[in-house]
A = this chain, B = another copy of it.
């Protein structure tokens, strides 16, 4: 069907005054006088509605007058500029065709709904202003990430979702199986016989693509993954989902400093892209979700990020004139309260904390010359705390071997990962950005369930 998207009308209304237009969409509101009426029509191409004016010249004026909110229409008519009115233009309808009716039971009547309620109708909530904005920005943010990496010569790698290895030796993982649970095959000793499973062994959903993507980094120098990852953590918080998307770049011939430069450049690029390409949505978030949002993002975009070592950060926290719930000492894991103090109160801007104690970080991080810290970095941002975590990787075979053994992990599970250190190993580094965390940060939304189309959390896999 030849139709004009409402977004196009807003981009350049005067272009569309010369001929009759066909617009389509869903009725957001309808107001009626005796012989005419107004419809706010939304087609999802932008946040704004289009005002339709219709009158009793329409042969189906009665039908249109009785429409319920949520009905879908095809409207033909002429665009009239209305510089004196609230909206810059309207369409004077010459015909209104009802594609699909709605009913008074339509859950999205014109009133405020709680986010909790809207989660129960996740199939309809993108028809509200808030979720229309959130998911349009989600799409733009995903694209901005690809654009940044592609324009900088990175190769996008689809690392496997189903895996037989546990990347960090830590995560709680979901099992993937085709075994009939009512009739499990068993070994002689009575244990479940996973050699009968689809892949001939136990398999799980990935918790990170990092180890896999390192192999490709050793071929392409600059790579990134962007895909779903999974944690079977039983944590019912506003920041945890069982299924979420992660961005993981990896760069060769690079150290921690290069890694931080990349993280800073990427974050600034994507914030800038969203602010430029979704100004109305950002304005909406700033007005209705989080009043300081645009100011905070502008600060991040325009500031030089700070750098502090973990050791110095601990000193700062020890001297802080603030009581923390969790005690501060060298060797402790930084909690959100600590992170937020550093980035919001002390530095008042984004800050990289570097060189953490090796015992609170993953096995693959590069040991520093002091023998007790690793070349890790976390980026903390005001309003959120940690948004990016990364490290230089241990590229030295003997150091990596020692660490794997120290932690009681099995060398044979990592044969291919170790081989990267045998054949042309290079200094390399990378980081992980939780996509939903970034999206919450950029939109000001407070609950991860409200930035994922159909969120999966403990006891929730609806739709």
How far is B420's CA from A405's CA once the two chains are assembled, in angstroms?
56
Q: For the complex formed, measure the closest distance between the CB of A231 and the CB atoms of chain B, giving whole angstroms.
A: 11
**Residues of A26-49 contacting chain B, CB below 8 A:** 26-27, 43-45
Looking at the complex, which one of B155, B199, B258, B416 makes contact with A1 (CB distance below 8 Å)? Answer: B258
Which one of A74, A100, A159 has the highest number of Cβ atoms from chain B below 10 Å of its Cβ? A100
CB distance A416 to B201 under 8 Å?
Answer: no
Asked if A239 is at the interface (CB within 8 A of a chain B CB), the reply is: no
Q: Which residues of B contact A131 (CB under 8 A)?
A: 219
CB distance A103 to B218 under 8 Å?
Answer: no
Asked if A434 is at the interface (CB within 8 A of a chain B CB), the reply is: no
From known contacts A72-B424, A155-B135, A454-B159, infer whether A24 and B174 are also in contact, taking CB-CB under 8 Å: no
* Partner-contacting stretch, out of A87-95, A139-147, A361-369, A384-392: A139-147
* Partner-contacting stretch, out of A178-186, A306-314, A318-326, A329-337: A178-186
From known contacts A156-B139, A158-B453, A216-B126, infer whether A422 and B174 are also in contact, taking CB-CB under 8 Å: no
**Residues of A122-163 contacting chain B, CB below 8 A:** 122-124, 126-127, 131-132, 135-136, 138-140, 142-143, 146, 150, 153-163
CB distance B182 to A191 under 8 Å?
Answer: yes
Asked if A458 is at the interface (CB within 8 A of a chain B CB), the reply is: yes
CB distance B219 to A126 under 8 Å?
Answer: yes
Q: Which residues of B contact A101 (CB under 8 A)?
A: 424
How far is B156's CA from A7's CA once the two chains are assembled, in angstroms?
17
Asked if A215 is at the interface (CB within 8 A of a chain B CB), the reply is: yes
Asked if A460 is at the interface (CB within 8 A of a chain B CB), the reply is: yes
CB distance A132 to B423 under 8 Å?
Answer: no
Q: For the complex formed, measure the closest distance between the CB of A232 and the CB atoms of chain B, giving whole angstroms.
A: 5
CB distance B175 to A156 under 8 Å?
Answer: no
Q: For the complex formed, measure the closest distance between the CB of A270 and the CB atoms of chain B, giving whole angstroms.
A: 14
Looking at the complex, which one of B100, B159, B182, B221 makes contact with A45 (CB distance below 8 Å)? Answer: B221
* Partner-contacting stretch, out of A247-255, A372-380, A442-450: A247-255
Q: For the complex formed, measure the closest distance between the CB of A202 and the CB atoms of chain B, giving whole angstroms.
A: 9
Q: For the complex formed, measure the closest distance between the CB of A133 and the CB atoms of chain B, giving whole angstroms.
A: 11
Asked if A205 is at the interface (CB within 8 A of a chain B CB), the reply is: yes
Q: Tell me how many residues of A have a C-beta within 8 Å of chain B.
A: 111
Asked if A432 is at the interface (CB within 8 A of a chain B CB), the reply is: no
CB distance A452 to B158 under 8 Å?
Answer: yes
A→B interface (CB under 8 Å):
1, 3, 5, 7, 24-27, 43-45, 70-72, 74, 99-103, 106, 122-124, 126-127, 131-132, 135-136, 138-140, 142-143, 146, 150, 153-165, 172, 174-179, 181-182, 184, 191-192, 198-201, 203, 205, 212, 215-216, 218-222, 227-228, 230, 232, 234, 242-243, 245, 252-255, 258, 395, 416-417, 419-427, 452-454, 456, 458-463
A-B contact pairs, 29 of them (CB 8 A): A1-B253, A24-B253, A25-B221, A26-B218, A44-B219, A44-B221, A100-B395, A100-B423, A100-B424, A101-B424, A102-B424, A103-B422, A106-B423, A122-B215, A123-B419, A123-B420, A124-B215, A124-B419, A127-B218, A135-B220, A138-B158, A143-B146, A143-B150, A160-B243, A164-B461, A175-B177, A181-B192, A198-B459, A227-B227
